[in-house]
Amino acid sequence: MLKWKTNRKVLLGISGGISAYKIPDVVSTLKKYNNDIEVIMTRSASSFVTPLSLSTLTGKKTWMEEDFLSDQRGWEIPHISLADWAEVFVIAPATANVIRRAAFGEAETLLGATMLATRAPVVIFPAMNIHMWEHPATQRHVKMSGELGYIVIPPEEGFLACGYEGKGRLPKKEVILEILWRVLSPKRDLIGKKIIVTSGPTREFMDPVRFISNPSSGKMGYAVARTAWYRGADVTLIKGPTYIEPPFGVRTIDVTTAQEMYDAVLKESDGADIVVKAAAVGDYRFAHTLDQKLKREGRGRLEVILEENPDIAAEVGKRKRQGQILVGFAAESTEVVENALSKLNKKNMDMIVANDITARGSGFESDTNSVTVICKTGRTSRLEGSKEEVAWGLWDIVEAEFLS
Ligand SMILES: Cc1cc2nc3c(=O)[nH]c(=O)nc-3n(C[C@H](O)[C@H](O)[C@H](O)COP(=O)(O)O)c2cc1C
């Protein structure tokens, strides 16, 4: 867990939509990561989820409409103190009604007044029946809210509680949290940068059912892509076959063989500012592939000929434009730093991340990593921690050495 995802002050506004039942789970996860949460509920919201459930999870009073103009708390003005306290104001679910209030700056409710009073980013998650969402009035209010600086996240498509199928669903908890982390990211130094990240293994087929590959899980590349997205980048992830879900917000391109990865990288990298090659690409492929499954047929021994795959990093290095940054990964089992340094120079890279795959808690499939980063500028650094922490550290180095 990256440090900045903890101890944040999250103000949560819940309005009267059926998907309000999902919010206690969001609160519970935020609490698990030691965040501080205050909740404001509209009167209608309390018909869908109880203030008591939320107070139990936050460990605090849940703010209701009747608290707005109440003299119960003496000097405290809830809409101002909550607005000032918040680092982010998330409204989920946001009803069509709340979006209208946002668009017109209506302040007759605690939730509406707090939206006007806060200087924190306001993230609105609309959720409603598809026809309500598509209605020109709602669409106009969404557009107006966006123009006022609110971050409006369009609802997802799927089965809706009202029985319809289509756009209107509140995104799942993981997506809400990912968007929150991007909004709260302490660094936004990759805004406007187009970044290509490769990840995962490749597969080289001998026949339709057999291939050679490697145990790369894709986790490191995913962490590099995800953290770049948090920092504001426009990220494309070119990924070999893996079983983990791609990071939210990132465009993904699926490939299987090294040749497919080569073609995709060369096509995409033309317009990229930074190319990070974190995939474990097979160096060799079968010289001959069979259309039909190879049968045993009592051969006793089978000899196959392998031929070299194209070298993607070397090709990107050769074609590199002025100002483009190429970052490579080197998975090594011997003389890790020496081998990485020689790759850096040979392939015209700007930075290489050397990974000792024989070390414990490092490399393939692991959730943690321990790497040596070598820059062509001469800087050498060690990074270790979760793959997300290592990825965050890599972007810090890219920023310091090549972007500032
Ligand atoms: C069963 C039920 C489910 C509802 N679900 C939604 C919904 O998902 N989204 C929405 O915008 N309105 C929904 N509404 C309508 C809102 O509850 C209604 O517009 C209310 O006035 C909103 O108040 P609020 O915005 O102050 O919370 C629903 C109403 C009912 C009765």
189 in a structural domain: no
345 in a structural domain: yes
Q: Is 18 in the pocket of ligand 1 (CB under 6 A)?
A: yes
- Using H for helix, E for strand and C for coil, what is the string for 145-208? HHHCCCEECCCEEEECCCCCEEEEECCCHHHHHHHHHHHHCCCCCCCCCEEEEEECECCEEEEC
Condensed to tens digits (0 to 9), the pLDDT of residues 303-312 reads 999 999 999 9
CA of 279 to the centre of ligand 1 (A): 46
pLDDT for 364: 66
Same domain, 175 and 124: yes
Q: Is 155 in the pocket of ligand 1 (CB under 6 A)?
A: no
CA of 91 to the centre of ligand 1 (A): 14
123 in a structural domain: yes
Same domain, 123 and 203: no
Same domain, 235 and 316: yes
> Which numbered atom of ligand 1 lies nearest the CA of 161?
8
Q: What is the CATH number of the domain that holds 36?
A: 3.40.50.1950
Same domain, 167 and 246: no
CA of 339 to the centre of ligand 1 (A): 62
**Domain extent at residue 268:** 194-294+302-403
Please give the chain's pLDDT, 404 residues, in tens. 899 999 999 999 999 999 999 999 999 999 999 999 999 999 999 999 999 999 999 999 999 998 888 777 656 789 999 999 999 999 999 999 999 999 999 999 999 999 999 999 999 999 999 999 999 999 999 999 999 999 999 999 988 887 888 899 999 999 999 999 999 999 999 999 999 999 999 999 999 999 999 999 999 999 999 999 999 999 999 999 999 999 999 999 999 999 999 999 999 998 999 999 999 999 999 999 999 999 988 888 999 999 999 999 999 999 999 999 999 999 888 888 889 999 999 999 999 999 887 776 666 667 889 999 999 999 999 999 999 999 999 999 999 999 98
Domain boundary among 184, 209, 238: 184
394 in a structural domain: yes
Neighbours of 342 (CB within 10 A): 13
Same domain, 306 and 173: no
pLDDT for 274: 98
Helix crossing, 51-58 with 23-32: angle to 10°? 10
Same domain, 166 and 199: no
pLDDT for 362: 63
- Please name the residue that has the structure tokens 């018909």: 47
CA 274, CA 398: separation in Å to the nearest integer? Answer: 9
Cβ(61)–Cβ(39) below 8 Å: no
Closest residue by CA, ligand 1 atom 13: 17
353, β-bridge pairs = 329, 373
Same domain, 171 and 239: no
Q: Is 41 in the pocket of ligand 1 (CB under 6 A)?
A: no
Domain boundary among 135, 159, 184: 184
102 in a structural domain: yes
CA of 15 to the centre of ligand 1 (A): 8
Same domain, 174 and 200: no
Q: What is the CATH number of the domain that holds 310?
A: 3.40.50.10300
Residues with catalytic annotation?
162
Q: Is 372 in the pocket of ligand 1 (CB under 6 A)?
A: no
CA 12, CA 5: separation in Å to the nearest integer? Answer: 16
pLDDT for 225: 98
DSSP character for 320?
P
Condensed to tens digits (0 to 9), the pLDDT of residues 358-390 reads 776 666 667 889 999 999 999 999 999 999 999
Residue ranges of the annotated binding site for CTP are 283, 293, 329, 343, 347
Same domain, 367 and 319: yes
Same domain, 78 and 224: no
Q: End-to-end CA distance of the chain, in Å?
A: 27
Task: At 382, give phi and psi (nearest 5°).
Answer: -110, 140
Same domain, 172 and 212: no
357 in a structural domain: yes
CA 58, CA 38: separation in Å to the nearest integer? Answer: 7
371, β-bridge pairs = 355, 383
CA of 171 to the centre of ligand 1 (A): 17
Q: Is 102 in the pocket of ligand 1 (CB under 6 A)?
A: no
In sign, the C-alpha dihedral spanning 99, 102, 107, 112 is: positive
pLDDT for 51: 97
CA 224, CA 276: separation in Å to the nearest integer? Answer: 8
pLDDT for 367: 85
> Which numbered atom of ligand 1 lies nearest the CA of 15?
27
Q: Please state the domain count of the chain.
A: 2
Domain boundary among 151, 184, 217: 184
Q: Which residues contact 57 (CB under 8 A, 6 or more apart)?
A: 24, 27, 28, 31, 37
Neighbours of 199 (CB within 10 A): 29
Closest residue by CA, ligand 1 atom 2: 18
